[in-house]
Chains A and B, each alone.
Chain A
């Protein structure tokens, strides 16, 4: 049984990646999860400098989901390389570094620095965080901005470049196309949906930032639809995510067109979810006689339903 998947020049041993922003810098989980057993670990978004992020409350639970407005608190790229990367390397994690900038130059500088670091497998460009005012999302919400930041980073690194797209646009697939044209090796989607929750007793927003990003099972069908649409629009691999909570959800994303998947909110609920997901994928492959997990990608059958399968 072959669980490996390819993302550009990178081969992942399996399609499961810990989602950025949901797994700290990976080291927090090193004693709980065998980091080497994951397809990849996407670490928390990094700027050049340290950032403190937003005040509490930063998260609030919503029906089958959660809102967050962390504000990209982070230790900055240099401290990451000095303090976190050596342990990730020692644990043999496949490290995907998520980078954020307020300017094009900051993305380029981050890409340069990380390309020289030992133990980085790929760069995920965060152009989609809904929770900071400047940078990031301003690139991700403009087709030209997306094209420019991807091509600028492309020029300075040999690492696979994977822009992470926002769902908070009218047509995600046009952004996927812009990323492909600019030389991206893959795209990842979706980041969280901009959302809001209000305490009706106090009439105050439940988050200090007023608005935040919605994740969890509540968003999964929308994310699946967006992966499906992007699969029609581009030829580079897609890393799909949004509310995956079990192996069936992960397989759904792959059938919709994702070559690999990221899991975030569900690992908050169950930090030991990873081997369960892998077992579930293996047993699905056995049951459906699938030898290579990559053979599932984009196999959704949208033709007329066969009479015996119509489910009536």
Chain B
């Protein structure tokens, strides 16, 4: 189905911290079509400044009491002009929202386990994925790293889905102190010893260095790994060639693919990380 553009009403704006918020948007058509890992292009304001839409992973798919899709939410972090406006968005306001776009996560089924690896705002695609995995009966773990305890969000949401949590913070205020790839590596090493030949599926989203580390660990332990790439996008539709990722091309040469069409979810072992 081609993407649709809707003037989506902001049905709520829940601040999570001084930098993060979750916006819920009334967009039944997008919600009905979206698969975990896909994204939407949102125009933060009217007029020409800021000019471009910004890409956001579909965070949650919202449903009414009977289970019919009513809208989506996005996880926003203030880092620039558009995200600043979205942090301050008011209930009742309408935002142009185009989607769903891009390649979703490749799902797994039991007995394969799923390990989601999130860094900061990289939590964005995992609420929807966690729900989908839980619905398929897949045993799932979320490795989730942030700057501090106050920036670890939606923990109860994942606990309620039955997702196991492994947390790290840079300042040690929650979970282990340090990077999330440290407990990930420990878990992969121990899994390889205990049940060799049954690696988990790894899904990663976060800072590029974190995704590179996760993808390389996955390769070392022979685990399949998909990452959700973040690039500045001009259009989200393949028109501008602005959002490319370098991948292994034919004859081993680097080849640029558009992350809006070939991604944002891509196989970690196909990306040229350095």
Interface residues of A (CB under 8 A from B): 21-24, 28-29, 31-32, 44, 52-53, 55-61, 63-66, 68, 70, 73, 216-218, 245, 265, 267-272
Contacts and interface: CB of A to CB of B under 8 A. Distances in A.
Contacts of A22: 239-240
Interface stretch (B46-54, B60-68, B189-197): B46-54
B52 A267 contact: no
- Among B48, B98, B231, max chain A CB count under 10 A is at B48
B241 A53 contact: yes
A57 B237 contact: no
Nearest to A26: B239
B139 to A, nearest CB: 35
Contact of B238 (A24, A65, A217): A24
A60 B231 CA distance: 10
Interface residues of B, number: 34
B48 A52 contact: no
Interface in B216-274: 231-235, 237-246, 254-256, 261
Contact of A60 (B2, B82, B232, B245): B232
A56 B243 contact: yes
Given A52-B254, A64-B51, A268 B240 contact: yes
Please list the 4 inter-chain residue pairs (A to B) with the smallest Cβ-Cβ separation, ordered nearest first: A59-B242, A28-B238, A268-B235, A64-B48
Given A60-B232, A61-B52, A66-B52, A55 B239 contact: no
A28 B256 CA distance: 17
A70 B5 contact: no
A68 B49 contact: no
Nearest to A206: B232
6 contacts: A21-B241, A52-B254, A52-B255, A55-B246, A55-B256, A245-B48
B18 to A, nearest CB: 19
A271 B49 contact: no
A307 B237 CA distance: 50
Contacts of B2: 31-32
B94 interface: no
Given A58-B242, A64-B48, A269 B237 contact: no
